[in-house]
Structure 1
Amino acid sequence: MNPAWRRELRPLLLLLATALAAGYFFNEFSFSFAFACGLYILWQWLQLYRLHHWLQQGQSTQLPSTYGIWGSIFYQTQRLQQRSQKHQQRLQAIINRIQDSTAALQDAVLMVDSHGNLEWWNRAAGEFLGLKAPVDVGQPITNLIRNPLFKGYFDSVNYDEPLSIPSPVNAQLQLQFNITLFGRKDRLILVHDITRLKQLEAMRKDFVANVSHELRTPLTVVSGYIETMDMAADSLPPRWGRMISQMAQQSRRMESLITDLLMLSRLETSHQNQPDSVSIRSMLETIVADARALSGDRHHQLTLKVQSDDQLKGYTDELHSAFSNLIFNAVKYTQDGGEIQVSWSRHPDGVRLCVKDNGPGIDEHHIPRLTERFYRADPSRNNQTGGTGLGLAIVKHVLLRHQAELEIHSTLGQGSEFCCHFPAERCLTDTEPTI
């Protein structure tokens, strides 16, 4: 038997023995036994009251001392209390250390509960977003950051991509928000200051645009003189003719590069005007006719299949540039006599253009980087075909301006397929599919 129970049993037996002796002496066994039981119950009630009173006081006072089983209960309770206090102190030290370390970060850190209410933030968050303690604690984050883009991003619960918006307290400060879900839909928000990156990006865009414009004039002069000399090539020595031909070829290559750079610059810097109603069938027929002319004596088998006479809400010049880049690339990189299929079709989630060929294909590890500027999966092939490495970058920017996506499927030796997916809201007509 447990020693605590033995200590509790001894006074109980002594009390009962005393009650029996008193009952025998006074010849009142029932009264003596009832009185002894009452005393014992009163004692138990008193110990229970002392424990309850100590618990009600928040365990802030010293635990009362006693003996027997209650002494063991009080002792074990005190041990649990001390152990709990040590754990709380340890956890509080960890929390304080985390808060101190996050407070020292240059990036802002915020914690938001599952209801969207602000729980905690570091010093940088207060500077970036104008938060003030303790007034803003428990306030909805969307009430403190009053930006429709942020509210839509926060409520969407789709945080795969970060959000970039100006600071609510300083419009010159550009901030990038990254939100991570944890726990029961609580949110951890990291905010980076990307003002410097935005400035560098703007400087790069201005530099490319200015250099492209400045190069166009002298290149036009050089190309003019080269064309003049080329017209008189018959009267020049054969060696000069070959040099002039190479100069003319590289001059055209430079003109194509500058044209693509100017197009990219315009896509990046221009504001979106009112979109037009673009006839896709007529545009694709024109581009495919130009592609057949580009193919020439290479005898590619180009087929065009338009399943619906859709009018697409967009920008005519940009869409023409994107579609022609995809179709002309298929002509350039597909072997002589190869098959190229251009199709326009409607789907439940929108419409799409697909350009499929049976050319050499592209290695899988190149595909994620194909839309990067000047990226070349096969440098030697690009030199032969005269590519600038900017075509797919232009396609990517045009599709972004039309809320569309580019999908690339390719296998070495089996050809490639480039598909542009446009959302349904971009389609202006609702005609029955026709072949």
Structure 2
Amino acid sequence: MNRDWRVVLARRLLLVAAGGLLLGLVTGYYGWSMALCVALYLAWVLAQLVRLHAWLKRQDFHEPPPESNGLWGEVFDSLYRQQRQHQQARAALQAIIDRAQESTAALKEAVIVMDRHGNLEWCNNAAQQLLGLTQGDAGQPVTNLVRHPAFKDYYDRGRYQDPLELASPINARLRLQFTLTRFGNNEHLMLVRDVTRLHLLEQMRKDFVANVSHELRTPLTVISGYLETLLAHSDSLEPRWLKPLQRMEQQSERMKHLLEDLLLLAKLEATAHSANAQPVAVAPLLQLIRRDAQSLSADKAHQIELEADPLLWLKGSEAELRSAFSNLVFNAVKYTPAGGHIQIRWWGDEHGAHLSVRDDGIGIEPRHLPRLTERFYRVDSSRASHTGGTGLGLAIVKHVLLRHQGRLDVESAPGEGSRFSCHFPPHQLAEPGMPACDTREADPTK
């Protein structure tokens, strides 16, 4: 039963005083009797303190506290109740942890828990099958256990929005997908999935598209050749056949561009990095693209402005970069009304190099932005038929940027135009091979 400690203390002090008075009545020395009783009480209190200190020093919290009476009995009873509550809460928490570990250990995906320094804390059974990790590796840096430069770069970069795909370090035939998530005090949780089957299916799709595209080139070339010959002698044809032949030639040209884009995309997907890592002068490349864009604009009279740093070069493939940058600029021309303004800007800062293509065209609704780089994704099918695009341009841009360690950002709103921005990290920059003239130039249409 819980009682107020003040009442218990008052009763004990009254007993000490009564004992002193009684002993003084017997001996006739009231002062010494009272002092003796107080001293005995203090000695008992000190003895209880020593018992409490000894119990705490043992640090065995499964052992109940000492028994006593009075105020110290209340203290020891309170400690015992708290000890029982703590044991019950700890048992319940341990049961939850055990159940979580048992369920996690049964997963087919590898689960790895790392501390804030990147050291292994815990892993399940699948981590041993997929990565060769064991509980005995606890305390070691995971970047030392999963030895791959791409994984270390992925971990150190700190941007985990997109997963990383690598071959298993213990079985090269397995393809694994790594996903990192931060939690707690900058600790990390890593989930590793076996995506070998998906990888094989994706590879089959790529091979099928590449093979079909390659095989279609020959019959398409024959068809285009005959159409060109017939149109060259259109004077000898009946007038009713002229328009169908012209439409057939337009569609064969569109099909030719589609096959070229499919083959280029298959080539880009074949490897993760550009094989031709040469210094590329971006400013003169953008000048050529701007001239081609002016020709494409024709009677639309777009105002195309170029501002580029001539001393800012990139490492990579000039052909791939030309394909990506021209797709962005030509798209701006296609989807900007006549007389519109298009701004191309190439600059650098402490974060790397950046290319932006801004237009004041028709714009794109926000719901379409996440899917723009998907193959054949159409914001509006009528727009595709009007512009004659293949639907692969932004997919090509995405893969070129990935091969050059870059990323694509898109900002757009209906009626407010669009801005496509390419960002390259500092280590992707190259030293200029030769000085170039300033490419800031005025638009001749102004």
User: Per-residue displacement from partner, 1:68-99 (whole Å, max 9, x unpaired)?
Assistant: 22222222222222222211121112112211
Give the residue type in structure 2 aligned to 1:97: R
**Letter paired with 1:47:** Q
CA deviation map 1:157-176 (0-9, x unaligned):
33333333222222222222
TM-score, reference length from structure 2: 0.85
Stretch moving more, 387-396 or 253-262: 387-396
Specify the alignment match of 2:112 in structure 1. 110
Distance 1:325 1:4 in 2: 83
Tell me whether 89-98 or 406-415 shows the greater mean CA deviation: 406-415
Pair 1:379-2:381 in alignment: yes
The answer to whether residue 239 in structure 2 is matched with residue 238 in structure 1 is yes
Q: 1:66 to 1:206 in 2, by over 3 A?
A: same
Larger deviation: 340-349 or 178-187? 340-349
> Any conservation in 1 of the 2:127–2:134 contact (CA below 8 Å)?
no
Gaps of 5+ in 1: none
What is the Cα deviation at residue 398 of structure 1? 1.8
User: AA paired with 1:122?
Assistant: N
Equivalent AA in structure 2 for residue 268 of structure 1: E
Amino acid at match of 1:87: A
Give the 3 Å change call, closer, same or farther, for CA 114–240 of structure 1 in structure 2: same
Question: What amino acid maps onto 1:428 in structure 2?
Answer: E
Q: How far is 1:38 from its partner?
A: 2.8
67-76 or 415-424, which moves further after superposition? Answer: 415-424
Q: Which amino acid is 1:129 matched to?
A: L
Q: How far off is 1:44 after superposition?
A: 2.0
Deviates more, 1:168-177 or 1:284-293: 284-293
Could you tell me which of 78, 86, 92 is aligned with 2:88?
86
Per the alignment, residue 38 of structure 1 pairs with 39
Partner AA of 1:363 in structure 2? E
Aligned to 2:367: 365
Structure 1 residues 143 and 419, CA, compared in 2 at 3 Å: closer, same or farther?
Answer: closer
Shift of 1:285: 3.9
Alignment check: 8 A CA contact 1:113 1:187 kept = yes
CA-based RMSD: 3.0
1:319 maps to amino acid: L
Q: Supply the distance in 1 between the matched residues of 2:279 and 2:330 (Cα, whole angstroms).
A: 24
State the identity as a percent: 49
Q: Give, in whole Å, the separation in 1 of the partners of 2:343 and 2:15.
A: 104
Q: 1:399 to 1:116 in 2, by over 3 A?
A: closer
Measure how far apart 1:384 and its partner are: 2.6
TM-score (structure 1 length as normaliser)? 0.87
Deviations 1:340-387 (A, max 9, x none): 545344242444444444443333333332222111222112113221
Deviations 1:388-411, CA, capped at 9 Å, x for gaps: 111121122222222333343444
Q: Is the 8 A contact 2:324 2:400 kept in 1?
A: yes
Q: Could you report, residue by residue, the CA deviation over 1:7-60 in whole angstroms, capped at 9, with x for unpaired residues?
A: 665565445444444444444444433332232222223333333333344143
Q: What is the aligned length?
A: 432
What is the distance in 2 between the residues matched to 1:67 and 1:382? 91
Where do residues 252-401 of structure 1 align in structure 2 (5 Å cutoff)? Answer: 252-270=253-271, 272-296=274-298, 298-310=299-311, 311-335=313-337, 337-341=338-342, 343-349=344-350, 350-401=352-403
Decide whether aligned partners of structure 1 residues 372 and 71 sit closer, same or farther in structure 2, where only a CA change above 3 A counts: same
- Distance verdict in 2 for CA 1:110–1:266, change over 3 Å: same
How far apart, CA to CA, are the structure 1 residues paired with 2:121 and 2:416? Answer: 56
- Residue pairs, 1:157-196, within 5 angstroms: 157-196=158-197
Q: Report if aligned partners of 2:406, 2:422 keep a CA contact under 8 Å in 1.
A: yes
Q: Tell me, yes or no, if the aligned pair for 2:123 and 2:134 is still in contact at 8 Å.
A: no
| 8 A contact 1:354–1:420 mirrored in 2 | yes
SS of structure 1 residue aligned to 2:225: helix
CA distance in 1, matches of 2:62, 2:285: 82
Higher mean alpha-carbon deviation, 163-172 vs 271-280, is at 271-280
Query: Structure 2: any 5+ residue segments left out of the alignment?
Result: 441-446
Could you tell me which amino acid in structure 2 is paired with residue 51 of structure 1?
L
Aligned partner of 2:373: which letter? T
SS at match of 2:166: strand
2:443 counterpart residue number? none
Structure 2 counterpart of 1:46, which letter? Answer: A
DSSP-derived class of the 2:137 partner: coil
Report how far residue 263 of structure 1 moved: 0.7
